[in-house]
Homo-oligomer: A and B are copies of this chain.
């Protein structure tokens, strides 16, 4: 019996199938310290227990993207080991903050299948949920990937395409229990701009840039137990380059966006996302944001903003996303659409 994991191929997935992913993980202050060392993350709610308590939470939660990466990383061996392309994300909701001492695991349900017309691969849609040690869901999102077939003669499954919302309805966003920004300290948070200061259509250049090193993206990617070899093995690709995990670019761009969005504290919804172009060591990542929408929430002093966060390589034209052909410009790395919570 072969002992190593060959991953799943397109014909291995069935609608309704639930995959229980390995390996559960208990997080601690160690993961937080590493996150803050790998990305210029400064949002006060995730940096200070005191600030979090003044905002109605029991302590400073782990950064939302730690939850995302931890949950996502576990799905890689089952979902994307034989993926040709990571096509998209949607319907993402952060359901509960996680704290040092919590243990996370992941499971995914297959909700869509469509074989490609070439008969060599197909698109698999999974809804992934992250669960804590009390079996409470902390995060859910849909992801779709193009996966190779093992056996080209395997019959095509019935096509099932999930009906996915383009945007998470703000009424469906889950505000952490107790969250209250009425006593928000803007000095400690780093900027004075509140929810009312942002306008739909406004764009913000986050100014700062970070040049990416091999050691850093590998340390980060391993931290999430994402072991896809394309990120680690320089002998794997013919060009000798290690492809950087898309989530590394997401976290880098989100952290850079502090400069101009210091008060966009919590990520609560993930409407969509595309890794527009690959990122490699030596690239300098910069970021800009467009305010897409705003919404009120039921929590005291808390508003929601829908933001397009774009990561580019240094030198990219400001605020330029796609060319006349509708395709992403070559210097664009990431186009992410998310909901965040801000003080009113």
Chain A positions within 8 Å of B, measured between CB atoms, are 1, 3-5, 20, 22-34, 36-40, 42-44, 47-51, 60, 77, 100-101, 103, 105, 133, 187-191, 193, 197-198, 204-211, 213-216, 218-220, 222-223, 225, 227, 229, 232-236, 242, 259-262, 282, 284, 314-315
- Return chain B residues, CB-CB under 8 Å to A209: 229, 232-233, 235-236
Q: Could you write out 19 A-B pairs with CB less than 8 Å apart? A: A4-B259, A4-B260, A24-B47, A26-B48, A28-B32, A28-B33, A29-B100, A30-B31, A33-B34, A36-B222, A37-B222, A40-B222, A50-B133, A77-B190, A105-B188, A209-B232, A210-B232, A211-B235, A233-B314
Q: Give the contacting residue for A22; candidates B24, B25, B42, B204; CB below 8 A.
A: B42
Task: Tell whether, in the assembled complex, residue A205 and residue B4 are in contact, meaning their CB atoms are under 8 Å apart.
Answer: yes
Complex Cα spacing A20 to B51, Å: 14
* Bound CA–CA A260/B77 (angstroms): 13
Q: Check A193 against B30 for contact (C-beta < 8 Å).
A: no
Residue pair B28, A284 in contact (C-beta under 8 Å) = no
Contact A314:B5 (CB < 8 A) given known A190-B77, A223-B37: no
Known: A1-B197, A4-B205, A222-B37. A49 touches B32 (CB 8 A): no
A33 with B223, Cβ < 8 A, contacts A5-B191, A22-B262, A190-B23 known: yes
Contact A26 B40, beta carbon cutoff 8 Å: no
Q: How far is the CA of A204 from the CA of B3 in the complex (A)?
A: 7
Chain B residues with CB below 8 A from A225, complex form: 36, 40, 42, 47
In the assembled complex, the CB of A203 is this many whole angstroms from the nearest CB of chain B, namely: 10
Expressed in whole angstroms, the minimum distance between the Cβ of A151 and any Cβ of chain B is 21
B190 adjacent to A208 (CB under 8 Å)? no
Chain B contacts for A235, CB-based, 8 A: 209, 211, 284, 314-315
A208 partner residues in chain B, CB cutoff 8 A = 227, 229, 232-233
New A-B pairs, 18, CB < 8 Å, besides A24-B44, A26-B60, A30-B34: A3-B191, A4-B207, A5-B259, A22-B188, A23-B262, A24-B50, A25-B47, A26-B49, A28-B29, A28-B100, A30-B31, A36-B222, A37-B223, A40-B232, A209-B236, A210-B218, A216-B219, A234-B284
Chain B residues, CB < 8 A from A262: 22-23
Q: Which of A100, A193, A227 has the most CB of B within 10 A?
A: A227
On chain B, the residues within 8 Å of A242 by CB distance are: 211
- Min CB gap A98→B, angstroms: 13
Query: In the complex, A95 Cα to B97 Cα: how many Å?
Result: 35
Pick the contact of A51 from B24, B42, B210 — CB < 8 Å?
B24
Q: How far is the CA of A205 from the CA of B332 in the complex (A)?
A: 38
Known: A42-B227, A227-B42. A211 touches B187 (CB 8 A): no
| Contact between chains at B39 and A222 (CB < 8 Å) | yes
